[in-house]
Amino acid sequence: MKVGVLALQGAFARHVDALRALGSPAQLVRTPIQLDDVDALVIPGGESTTMSKLLASSGLAQPLAERLADGMGAFGTCAGMILLAREVLDGRADQSSYAAIDVTVRRNAFGRQVDSFEADLDVVGLGAPFHAIFIRAPFVEDLGPGVEVLASAEGHPVVCRQGPVLVAAFHPELTPDRRLHQMFLDQLH
């Protein structure tokens, strides 16, 4: 399994480090040819509106939509979760999302006064809590019956999975805990 990390904008470098630490030779994806060459994709945090524009201008928007519709595995964190969602609330009118997971997310959902916070989350399938760093994070406001909620913060789902697609509202690449990246790699096999 070759895993790519979308590297148009945002926090992609630490995802590459995390995957490589787990023995997966992660490849940067910036072009349609590079997307063709990978079997699964991490979409990092950053700014979903900017990434949405860069996906269009790089020619990746259409091939990415096709690969996701074909069932490609994907792990979206923060802005990446927004891009994978079926519907985005408080988004910009021109921002696209790829409906790879049946969730409605709200951008910047935890409110401006708590732009960033950290929390120890109980995640289904992981033993000890996961220390999660949230940065202007979204949360899941609504979800379809096929979506499994793996963790919540302040009563809102923040880690979800549907088939080969895993999303987290926070930045798992910013802590040395690799268990969510490992979960993503494990579900690809």
Residues classed as catalytic = 78, 171, 173
Other CB atoms within a 10 A radius of the CB of residue 106 amount to 20
CB of 174 to ligand GLN, least distance (A): 10
C-alpha torsion angle, residues 18, 103, 146, 80 (rounded to 10): -20
SS3 of residue 172 by DSSP: helix
What number of helices (H) and strands (E) belong to the chain?
6, 12
CB of 59 to ligand GLN, least distance (A): 21
Residue 108 interacting with ligand GLN (CB under 6 A) = yes
Nearer to ligand GLN, 16 or 186 (CB): 16
Residue 47 interacting with ligand GLN (CB under 6 A) = yes
The tokens of 58 are what?
């790089």
Residue 172 interacting with ligand GLN (CB under 6 A) = no
The tokens of 107 are what?
């951008």
Distances (CA, A) of 175 to 48, 50, 114, 120: 21, 24, 20, 12
- Using CB under 6 A, which of 78, 153, 166, 185 touches ligand GLN? 78
Q: How many residues bind ligand GLN (CB under 6 A)?
A: 11
- Using CB under 6 A, which of 53, 67, 107, 161 touches ligand GLN? 107
Residue 64: in which H helix or E strand, if any? Answer: helix 61-69
CB of 139 to ligand GLN, least distance (A): 11
Residue 29 interacting with ligand GLN (CB under 6 A) = no
- Using CB under 6 A, which of 18, 19, 45, 183 touches ligand GLN? 45
